[in-house]
Amino acid sequence: MDVKQISQMIDHTQLKAFAEKKDFEKLCSEAKEYGFKMVAINPYPTKLCSELLKGTGVNVGAAIAFPLGQTTIEDKLNETLQAIKNGADEIDYVINIGKLKEKDYDYMELEMKGIVEICRKNNVISKVIFENCYLTKDEITKMSEIAFKVEPDFIKTSTGFGTGGALVEDVKLMKSVVKDKIKVKAAGGIRDLKTFMEMVEAGAERIGTSSGISIIKEFKGEKIESIKENY
């Protein structure tokens, strides 16, 4: 892999509750400079980031029902539509984890179908966040099977705000179910090149991280500043 290939796998992330306009301006500036694939943000700054990144080739990704997933399907659909209206190129939504634990698989499929269909109609990439730290291996497998049927563009390990982040074993499990039909995004706790490469080797084709610059610098052999990000 070369620097460009690595950069194009990175979703450059700013999802903190206290992020200000200057933080999003910095995020977008860095994404342009390093050639990252996407900026991952909450819905509110979508319009700002869309304007800042217009014509750069960097996508704007809005996180829906983030980070808990505990909103109604109608709320998630409306949030998705509004984010797309404001310029989102990609949608990362959090599943209703409680409904999965209740084994209400019809609900999980209905929720996924609704969001994926909106994304398809608008030529927007869809990603489904499982939040694996709260799930059993059987639940991860079941969600992957539902995704195999519905066909979002990606299934994703984590929000980065739960009790744990991406695990190599989970990436491998998810990929083993969806195979080449759906891509896998790993996110949460990916702060260095070694972890990045482990996720890629396990089958991840997109990486969500706020440490993308450090990862690129490490790959290029440059000096790395201390990493304090949680995501």
* pLDDT tens, N- to C-terminus, the chain (231 residues): 899 999 999 999 999 999 999 999 999 999 999 999 999 999 999 999 999 999 999 999 999 999 999 999 999 999 999 999 999 999 999 999 999 999 999 999 999 999 999 999 999 999 999 999 999 999 999 999 999 999 999 999 999 999 999 999 999 999 999 999 999 999 999 999 999 999 999 999 999 999 999 999 999 998 666 544 444
pLDDT of residue 121: 98
Instruction: Give residue-wise pLDDT tens across range 41-89.
Output: 999 999 999 999 999 999 999 999 999 999 999 999 999 999 999 999 9
State the Cα–Cα distance between residues 119 and 153, nearest whole angstrom. 10
Catalytic residue among 76, 127, 156, 175: 156
pLDDT attached to residue 228 = 46
pLDDT at 92: 98
* Catalytic pick among 11, 89, 92, 170: 92
What's the pTM?
0.95
pLDDT, residue 225, reads: 61
* 185 given a catalytic annotation: yes
Identified catalytic residue from 37, 127, 175, 185: 185
DSSP string, 51-107: HHTTTSS-EEEEEESTTT--S-HHHHHHHHHHHHHTT-SEEEEE--HHHHHTT-HHH
113 is a catalytic site residue? no
Q: Nearest Cα to 109, choosing from 121, 98, 119, 99?
A: 99
| 123 DSSP 8-state letter | T
How close are the terminal C-alpha atoms of the chain, in Å?
24
pLDDT at 230: 47
Residues 6+ apart with CB under 8 A from 101: 139
* pLDDT tens string 128-137: 999 999 999 9
Report pLDDT for 222.
85
Rounded Cα–Cα distance for residues 41 and 21 (Å): 12
SS3 content of the chain, % helix, strand, coil (to 5): 45, 15, 35
